[in-house]
Each structure stands twice: as C-alpha cells, then as structure tokens.
C-alpha cells in the first residue's frame, strides 16, 4: 500500500511539469510527511485543460453518509479497481495523478518495532502516482463537500518486495495523457509495477512513524 509520501516540488514547478493550471488553494509545500485524510495536490484533465487542484486523500464513496461510514479508502488495488463498487465508476471516468517526490513503507525488526524506509525514483525524477477520484458531499448543518481520491497500487517489484508487497502505480510522462483520458481509452495496461531498478530506497529515522513529524530530516538516510 501507500500510506505516507513526500512532495517537495513547488506549485509552479508542478504546474510546469504537467502543463497544468494550478489552483490558488493548493496545500503548502514542501511536505515530508503527507498523511491520509489531508488535502493533497492532484492533476486532473477536463475539456482539454489540465488542472492542479487539491483533494482529500481518502476516497469517500457517494453512499457514505459520513467520511467514517466505512473503511478509509486511501488505496485502490489495480487488480480489482475496475470491479469494486467503490472504485469502478471513478476508474472509468475520473482518473487523476498524484505528484510525489517519494513514499514510505515499513519493515519490522525482531522485536516488532516498525522501521521506516523512503522510496523514490532511481533517476531522481518526480513521481506521478496513478489515482482515481470521487466527489462527495453531505448536506446539513455541518455540510462537507469536495473531491476525494485514492492512489492505485499494484504488486511490488522483486527489489521492493523485500520491504513491502505493494507499490503505487508510477506513471511515465508518455502515459499521463492516456491515464487522464486525453488519449482515448485503454488505460488498464498502465497499472503495472515499475521496471526492476527504477526505484531506490533507504532506511530513515523512526521519527516519521508519527504523523505529526515534519521536516527534511525525515527523508535523510540512516544506517540500516
């Protein structure tokens, strides 16, 4: 799965990278410990225009009466995303991209302590996670509304599997238009693991185990 990530690109750099118009309410960057249920920057495309816009990380199906009516859906499995009732319409009609610099996964030592790892692209380029989104709203005295999203994951590469058995689907620039629906249909083949050797990873300090931790030191390597 993907439960935490980092994004360090400034808004204007993200907009230039994706050829998108940025919203004026994007979350502040850099962020070294992006957690579920927070607002994240996403890329969508409609009527021939790309937009960088904020969404809540954690897709809320339209039938939820409250955000906690069911499981927290921060990830969608590539193998079943087109079939699950919570995801299938979004997979067909509302695909988006989540920009990231890297993401975290955890192993455990002999005592059961959670040991965090930071994973990024070996070539140093920004990551573009495949994702899907869903508008959600609740009427009433405390009305809540807005777009929500989930990151698509797939089976890990051999090297990544030593840390975790799942990895986000990482899209290459040539695939962005197809995933966003700009280049027709047939995006399913894009939901594959990255090639072997495409990722690099290193142990980081256990400070990131807290969702309140922040700062560049969270991604600095430490001795395994």
**50 in any annotated domain:** yes
pLDDT band at 139 (very low <50, low <70, confident <90, very high): low
- Give pLDDT, residue 161: 93
**18 in any annotated domain:** yes
Distance between CA 138 and CA 145 in Å, rounded?
A: 6
pLDDT in tens, 37-54: 999 999 999 998 999 999
- Give pLDDT, residue 141: 46
pLDDT in tens, 151-180: 999 999 998 999 999 999 999 999 999 999
When the pLDDT of each residue in the chain is averaged and rounded to a whole number, the result is: 94
**110 in any annotated domain:** no
Residue keyed to tokens 């079943």: 80
Distance between CA 151 and CA 99 in Å, rounded?
A: 11
Q: Which of 91, 96, 105, 149 is catalytic?
A: 105
CATH code where residue 54 lies: 3.90.1680.10
- Into how many domains does the chain fold? 1
Please list, in sequence order, all residues whose beta carbon lies within 8 angstroms of the beta carbon of residue 98, skipping any fewer than 6 positions away: 5, 40, 41, 42, 43, 57, 128, 129, 131, 149, 151
Mean pLDDT over 186-191 rounds to: 95
Taking the CA atoms of residue 1, residue 174, residue 102 and residue 100 in that order, the dihedral angle to the nearest 10 degrees is -90
**119 in any annotated domain:** no
**134 in any annotated domain:** yes
Q: Is-catalytic flag, 105?
A: yes
Note whether 137 and 143 are within 8 A (CB): yes
Q: Which of 62-66, 76-80, 124-128 has the lowest mean pLDDT?
A: 62-66
Residue-number span of the structural domain to which 70 is assigned: 5-100+126-193
Mean pLDDT over 119-125 rounds to: 97
Note whether 177 and 97 are within 8 A (CB): no
pLDDT band at 7 (very low <50, low <70, confident <90, very high): very high
Q: Which of 2, 91, 96, 149 is catalytic?
A: 2
Distance between CA 192 and CA 130 in Å, rounded?
A: 10
**114 in any annotated domain:** no
- Give pLDDT, residue 71: 95
Taking the CA atoms of residue 78, residue 80, residue 85 and residue 88 in that order, the dihedral angle to the nearest 10 degrees is 50
Distances (CA, A) of 115 to 63, 157, 181, 201, 202: 37, 20, 38, 13, 11
Q: Is-catalytic flag, 2?
A: yes
Distance between CA 1 and CA 168 in Å, rounded?
A: 7
- Give pLDDT, residue 44: 98
**175 in any annotated domain:** yes
Please list, in sequence order, all residues whose beta carbon lies within 8 angstroms of the beta carbon of residue 196, skipping any fewer than 6 positions away: 157, 158, 159
- Give pLDDT, residue 79: 97
Distance between CA 149 and CA 173 in Å, rounded?
A: 21
pLDDT band at 138 (very low <50, low <70, confident <90, very high): confident
């Amino acid at each position: 799965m993907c439960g935490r990530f980092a994004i360090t690109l400034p808004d204007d750099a993200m907009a230039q990278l994706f050829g998108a118009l940025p919203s004026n309410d994007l979350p502040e960057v850099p962020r070294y410990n992006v957690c579920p249920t927070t607002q994240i920057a996403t890329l969508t495309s409609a009527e021939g225009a790309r937009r960088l816009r904020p969404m809540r990380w954690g897709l809320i199906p339209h039938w939820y009466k409250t955000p906690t009516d069911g499981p927290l859906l921060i990830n969608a499995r590539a193998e079943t995303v087109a079939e699950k009732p919570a995801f299938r319409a979004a997979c067909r009609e509302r695909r988006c991209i989540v920009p990231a610099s890297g993401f975290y996964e955890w192993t455990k030592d002999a005592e059961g302590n959670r040991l965090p790892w930071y994973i990024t692209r070996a070539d140093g380029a920004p990551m573009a996670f495949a994702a899907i989104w869903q508008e959600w709203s609740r009427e009433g005295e405390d009305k809540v509304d807005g777009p929500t999203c989930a990151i698509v994951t797939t089976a890990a590469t051999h090297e990544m599997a030593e840390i975790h058995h799942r990895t986000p689907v990482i899209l290459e620039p040539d695939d962005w238009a197809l995933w966003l629906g700009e280049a027709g249909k047939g995006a399913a083949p894009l939901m594959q693991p990255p090639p072997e050797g495409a990722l690099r990873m290193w142990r980081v300090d256990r400070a990131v185990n807290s969702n309140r931790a922040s700062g560049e030191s969270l991604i600095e390597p430490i001795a395994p």
